[in-house]
Amino acid sequence: MMLSHRPISRRTFLRGVGITGSTIRLALPPLAVMFNPHGTSYAASGPIPTRFLLWFNGNGIPEKFWIPLETGPGFQLTPCLTPLAPHRKDIHTISGLDSPNARMPGPGNEHMRSMSALVTGERFTGAGAGGPSIDQVLAARIGAETRFRSLEIGVCQESFGHSIQRNLSWAGRDRPLPPEMIPHKLFDRLFGTRDYGWVQRKKSVLDAVYKDGTRLQKSLGGEDTRRVDEYLTSVRDIERAIVQLPREYARVDPPDADADPKDWPKLAKLQSDLLVHAFASGQTRVATYMLTKCQGLSRFPWLGLGSSRHHDYSHLEGGSAQQQEVMRDICRWHTEEFAYFLAKMKSIPEGDGTLLDHSCLLYVHEHAEANDHKNSGLALILAGHAGGLMTGRHSKMTGTIGDLYLTLANRVLGTSLDSFPTASRLLPGITA
């Protein structure tokens, strides 16, 4: 990477004033001019930061359609994992880890106990999670210098269930951090202060920063000018997509609603696009993404599944062939959305690589086999290349989910985490 222009800080913003006089700041994506000549470090602020994402889908999996039979780099993608074929070299499929505190007796049902144990390692309190979730443990260590210490994002809007079922991120014992599930609210949070003109979609947020953007582009080289133009265009595309959403997309339906009229795949992609913008512009290093809820009740009409809800399908006829095939199709949609997110991360250059090269993404469920509420032999996916993550393989491992979190914290994310509930060791085979 050869720099022909004076370096600028990665914390550079495009600034403007809205029609009500409010200040609007638009963070920039990684530009070549921000890096040292080798693209290995930001010239003005040091090493390229590592991002962490915890991605969640509820209700478990059909193991025979999800977990590969082969281990090592030669594994065959199962029906649930086929959407990840373009990203085979970017993922590490892991099976076999345990969540022991999910099986401890106590209040709540098996989903509730599993959810608390999954994200915190602690037992369900009867009101919420038993401690801080792993994302918040990491955010306390690596999130202090960003605009948002962490972001909590969701997709399938449901009023059903207890707090433990509706929240993935926890600041501490019984202290949930609710996900933002409405795209226009997440957009407003990321791209400026609330200004009537553009919040009501009468104008674009880009109108306010047009002059500053034009001034910046005149000082950039050709490649960076193209990157800024693509970035601003993508912001405008998201604005247009949000404008086109019907009003009911901002409403959370009660659990007894006859149908779910919302297009969850459309919302999922909007939320993914916004999160990628947040990572690319350095607004956060830590996020959670709750595509579906724990013990979720979403319907899936785009899959031809409208007669029942997700949790019903997970127990349809006690694990029959029909139930397994329905869960296969639902889980394949889940991985399609994860694959979309990976592709967006890979499409954005950062230094000598891409956003995905400098990220650690972890995809989890509260159960393994859905029908049995199984909490041993969990199936997870690691993605990205931060910290020398080993990818392009399937591994069967022994240990706990706490062991994995401790390993990621210390070997991938550069923290010095002394302990995590249920953890007793660092796992081999996670990093090269």
pLDDT digit string (tens) for 77-102?
999 999 999 999 999 999 999 999 99
Average pLDDT, the chain: 90
Measured CA to CA, the distance from residue 208 to residue 253 in angstroms comes to 35
Measured CA to CA, the distance from residue 329 to residue 294 in angstroms comes to 18
Per-residue pLDDT at 207 exceeds 60: yes
pLDDT tens readout for residues 86-144: 999 999 999 999 999 999 999 999 999 999 999 999 999 999 999 999 999 999 999 99
Tally of helices (H runs) and strands (E runs) in the chain: 13, 15
Size of the chain in residues = 432
Cα-Cα-Cα-Cα dihedral sign, residues 59, 413, 187, 20? positive
pLDDT tens readout for residues 259-293: 566 889 999 999 999 999 999 999 999 999 999 99
Q: Where are the domains of the chain?
A: 1-47+202-251, 51-181+257-412
Measured CA to CA, the distance from residue 129 to residue 127 in angstroms comes to 7
Write the class of the CATH domain 51-181+257-412.
alpha beta
pLDDT tens readout for residues 23-60: 677 888 999 999 998 999 998 888 999 999 999 999 99
- pLDDT reported for residue 158: 75
pLDDT tens readout for residues 367-388: 999 999 999 999 999 999 999 9
Amino acid code (one letter) for 415: T
- For range 148-176, the mean pLDDT: 92
What pTM, to 2 d.p., does this model score? 0.94
Measured CA to CA, the distance from residue 387 to residue 239 in angstroms comes to 35
- pLDDT reported for residue 36: 92
